Amino acid sequence: MRRSTGRRQAAAIVVAVTASLMTATASAASAAPPGVSPSTVDVTLGPGATTTVTKTVTTAEVPPNPDLVLLADTTGSMGGAIANVKANAGEITGDVLAAQPSAQFAVAEYKDFTDPFAYRLNQNTTGDPAAIQAGIDQWTASGGGDFPEGQINALYEIATGSVAFRPGSSRILAMFGDAPGHDPSGGHTLADAIAALQAADVRVIVVNVGNIDLTGQATALVEATGGVLLNNVPADQVSQAILDGIAAIEVTVTPQVGACDDEIDVVNTPASRTVVGGESATFTETIGAAPDAAPGVYTCSVDYLVNGVSAGYVQTVTVRVPGFSIDDVTTTEPDLGATAATFTVTLSTPSPSPVSVRYATADGTATAPGDYAASSGTLTFAPGETSKPVTVQVVGDTVDELTENYTVTLSDPVGAGLIDPVGVGTIVDADRDGAFSCSATALKVAGISVAKANPQNLPCVDDAETVVSADLNAGLINVGAEALTADTDLTPDDQQVAPQAGDNARAHSAVERTGISTVGLKIELGVVEASAAVTCVPGPDGLRPVFTGHSHIASLKINGVAVTVGSAPLTIPLVIGSLKLNSQTVQNGVLVQRAVSVETPLTTIVVAEAKADIHGSSAHPSGDPCRR
């Protein structure tokens, strides 16, 4: 709205609203732009917590979406005032449209009942300044019989449908004249007119260029409708007085909560404030999170209505309810002592005040104190902190076990909620899922073994035995042997370390010279040896056991006839049974490599045998030593 010396002079003589109008005039240059401040609020609150924010709503000098009716006394004495408004109509519409582009205007006039008309609508509501100018240009100062005029009737007509006010508009009627009105007027009393204006929510500005308030009618009108009375306005300052009156109208600001999540509550105090247009209304806004609000981000909007109409002064409230979470941790069990499993407790959003939560471990398949050390306590997060550790000691052993677990549970949060309150601690056993076994025998006749390494077979260990010679009988069969050796080897010797590629169990046996004889049969053997091994080899799913076996016979004679053998499997029929050479069997995870075996109905003779195999554990019956 334009400011001028004329306006300040007019404002100085306003009755009843002088002080507020002068305050609005003096502060206009430094006033904040219309709107709500702050327009966005982002706070962090724990469940059940509240906070307060001071909200300042700066109103526009012109109420939002105004419908302004210009009502003139066009009787004979009003020529100077009419000429002033005609000449400055563009200033009135221009200033109002500059402040509120959605503004519309109407033009009307009144005379007395002895004139050709007592009331006439010159132009209904429109946003076209040219149309408004044309309506004002219809005004002509004439008529007016006795001293009172017909404005009470005009006010009643305007309030009851003559003017097409828009729904949701701010309705202002600015009238100027120099004489009071007939009461009743056209069958309508002042009380009737006031009631109609109130029902239509019309505020009345009265510009007194003479004695329009002689009987107190103008005062009653503005007080009843929340309007403004400007007294003793010179005829050449009426247009500026109309602008001053618009700026001096009081407006009521009412916070209206719109879309709001159920988890939060927003209340403004007081419920409404009334201020002069252009001034600021201050509210205390209380924002709260529901006691049962789950962690998350919630929003609410508040529209600060002006005279019940949305002016676009919308505020957005964001409330962040923080929550605690704890992660899962997997720990490899040590062989000895203990190792730390470190869980991380996180807060979803920093809190402006301290928050806390309790934690405690609980048994699952892992139990305290054998598998881990029980722990409990309280974590306190200072403002701004978002993570803290919880350490649990995992106890080691050398017993093969299944993967086990325990939990760390969060409870009793203060100032926050719970998002993921259970952390699972997984203990992966470091021990092998099984063991190697191995054994080697140089000679075995009718259940009697000569030169046997690692006779217990399980577990495989480093062992060796040497026998210079042996002479055994099995019924009519005689067996003689020289330089008998057997050995076993385990790699690595310490099976508590993690499995690696190349870990193995190996068995080897050898006899330098062997003779087997009975009636009608003589078998002569040169160097005979056998070996068996199982080795951890990388595969698609990790390490896996691979079996290998080998045997070799340097020379063979049967009844003096040489037989070529080498390392290939061979079976030779005998009168007393069969002679099997370089045989290999793998059954149930056991590799047996035999260089020579004589099988008869009554007995079996074995020369150079090696065994290698794998076994699961009690925890992993189908396991093997290449896994853990």
**pLDDT tens-digit profile of 471-510?**
999 999 999 999 999 999 999 999 888 899 999 999 999 9
pLDDT average, residue stretch 120-137: 98
pLDDT average, residue stretch 182-203: 97
pLDDT at 6 > cutoff 60: no
pLDDT at 524 > cutoff 90: yes
Sketch the domain layout of the chain as residue ranges. Answer: 32-60+251-321, 66-248, 330-428, 434-616
Using alpha carbons only, what angle is made at residue 616 by residues 625 and 441, rounded to the nearest 5 degrees?
75
Dihedrals phi, psi of 460, to nearest 5 degrees = -70, 135
How far, in whole angstroms, is CA 14 from its chain's centroid?
58
Q: Other C-beta atoms within 10 Å of 32: how many?
A: 10
State in words which class domain 32-60+251-321 has: mainly beta
Query: Are the C-beta atoms of 566 and 556 separated by less than 8 Å?
Result: no
Considering the domain delimited by 66-248, tell me its CATH architecture: 3-Layer(aba) Sandwich (3.40)
Token look-up 């099988």 returns 599
- 466: tokens are 């040497």
Q: Please give the pLDDT value at position 307.
A: 87
Domain 330-428 in the same topology as domain 32-60+251-321:
yes
Report how far residue 27's alpha carbon sits from residue 319's, in angstroms, rounded to the nearest whole number: 35
Banded pLDDT at 55 (limits 50, 70, 90)? very high
- 177: tokens are 């004249």
Query: Are the C-beta atoms of 178 and 210 separated by less than 8 Å?
Result: yes
What mean pLDDT value characterizes the chain? 92
Domain 330-428 has CATH 2.60.40.2030: yes
